[in-house]
Amino acid sequence: MKKSLLILLLTLSYNAKAEWVEYSTRENGDIYFFDNARVQKDDNLLNVWNRIRYRSSVMGAWSYQSLMKIDCSKHTETTLQSTFYNDKNWSTPAMATDSKEKPKVYINADSPTERLTEILCN
């Protein structure tokens, strides 16, 4: 319970400082954002908060937030943590935040993450 409360408080404090910038709208209507105020860059590595507002529900979720690590030189991404939400405004988590790091994957051409790398890696 204490851990959940801490995560909620940290999320709320981060949201107060956030500068969410829209960077992609997909043909299906999903809208992608990144937090310009919290991008952390270390040489070719970026840590960036990402959000998606789904046009229609995805397995009961209407929005999603993740922390991603992008390697600009290797053109890869790693999801460090992620949360699905029951609403379109990232305020009601559908489940606990998944803090398990996902395997590194190559960034697909014409994907929202490809667009994000064009913005942040140059």
- Domain carrying residue 65: 2-120
Interatomic CA distance for residues 75 and 9, integer angstroms: 33
CB 37 within 8 Å of CB 11: no
How many structural domains comprise the chain? 1
Over the chain (122 residues), the average pLDDT of each successive run of 10 is 42 63 96 97 96 93 97 98 96 95 96 96 87
Q: Give the model's pLDDT for residue 121.
A: 93
Q: Single out the residue of 52, 50, 16 nearest to residue 31, CA to CA.
A: 52
**What CATH number does residue 93 fall under?**
2.40.128.710
pTM score: 0.83
pLDDT at 85: 97
Position 59 scores a pLDDT of: 86
Report the pLDDT value the prediction gives residue 8, as an integer from 0 to 100: 42
